[in-house]
Homo-oligomer: A and B are copies of this chain.
Amino acid sequence: MNQWNNEQMNQSSQLRIGIFGASGYGGSELLRILLFHPHAEVVLVTANEHAGKAVSAVHRNLYGLTGLSFASAPEDLSELENLDCLFLALPHGAAMEIAPRVPERVKVIDLSGDFRLSEMDVFKHHYKLAHTAPGLQSEFVYGLTETNREAVKGAKRIANPGCFATATLFALAPLVKGDLIAGRVIVDAKTGSSGSGAKAAANTHHPQRANSFYAYKPFTHQHLPEIEQELKRVGDWTSELVFMTHSLPVPRGIFASCYVELKNELTHEDVRGVYQDFYHDDFFVRLVEGSPDINHVKTTNFCDIGFAVQGRSLVVFSALDNLVKGAAGQAIQNMNLMFGFDETMGLMLAGSNP
């Protein structure tokens, strides 16, 4: 085999990209996409426990596609001065230590929850951590591209949304904006096993997980406050939100079933119109007939939305890939906008059937 030569496509106009925490699944997907992005060059990937190893020895899917090796995260972050964009794909709590020290000119996209919440006590309650960079939070734009596109375009720092939050917000935002919701909202959300990360653990042990389905973190999932915060920005959100997370026995995918009581009866066409209007210009949100299926969005940056309505009772289904539209893909979509590219650049990832 011949090594693929990234540099064939590199030009002086390439963005210079760094990824911290590139051995995890978020980092894995950033690499899968960015290595083929026509205007990006990944120049630094860190993973302390794998420092010195070839990226393709850890992400064996990338063997032959990159000559990059993992580095340790630099102590002195002024070394990052020559980057254009830094992705932080680290466990919760790490980005708030790093972000304050990143040189001013480097745009930052954080995939963790560190900078998503504007209220520090809410952050502390849900992440069980005291925030060490509260002053910086207001500089971060919440990167749900479709509801926040203009702010993203002008942002220097992005707090990339959580996977569950992304799926839920896509289902609810049009209804909140249209002020259509009465009463409490139930979100029954399910995630694939990669949502637990790349480290082996009891809940992702294959013999246990392969035939399992169960709920976890009832009422307390840390994505709940970012959902409510963003819904309040989109419209006049005053409902109670019951948010329940479950574990699916598949590697990838999030499916959210969102149960809404409408203020008034709506027809199928009415509801369809609400979503069509809201997502009219959004390439990555697809409105489908009937139910979406995580099988049709796996490995892609699409969120598929379907619904059923009966009188004042509406259920909205959203399906996406937790690692792409729910993490790395959306992060790159944001990067595209921050640097003036078409938001689909590098993200025309067709899923496969089967």
Contact = CB atoms under 8 A, between A and B. Distances in A.
Counting every copy of the chain, the complex holds: 4
Interface stretch (A76-84, A88-96, A155-163, A242-250): A242-250
A4 B342 CA distance: 13
A67 to B, nearest CB: 14
Interface string A241-260: 01010101111110101010
A296 B253 contact: no
Given A63-B286, A211-B298, A286-B63, A194 B354 contact: yes
A204 B249 CA distance: 13
A83 B69 CA distance: 45
Contacts of A205: 198-200, 204-206
A313 B193 contact: no
Interface in A265-318: 279-288, 291-300, 302, 304, 306, 308, 310, 313, 315, 317
Interface of A: 1-2, 4, 25, 28-29, 32, 35-36, 59-65, 183-184, 186, 188, 190, 192-194, 196, 198-202, 204-216, 218-219, 240, 242, 244, 246, 248-253, 255, 257, 259, 261, 279-288, 291-300, 302, 304, 306, 308, 310, 313, 315, 317, 319, 323, 344, 348, 350-354
Given A4-B344, A204-B206, 13 more contacts: A1-B285, A1-B287, A2-B282, A32-B352, A63-B288, A65-B350, A198-B205, A205-B206, A213-B253, A213-B255, A242-B313, A246-B257, A259-B259
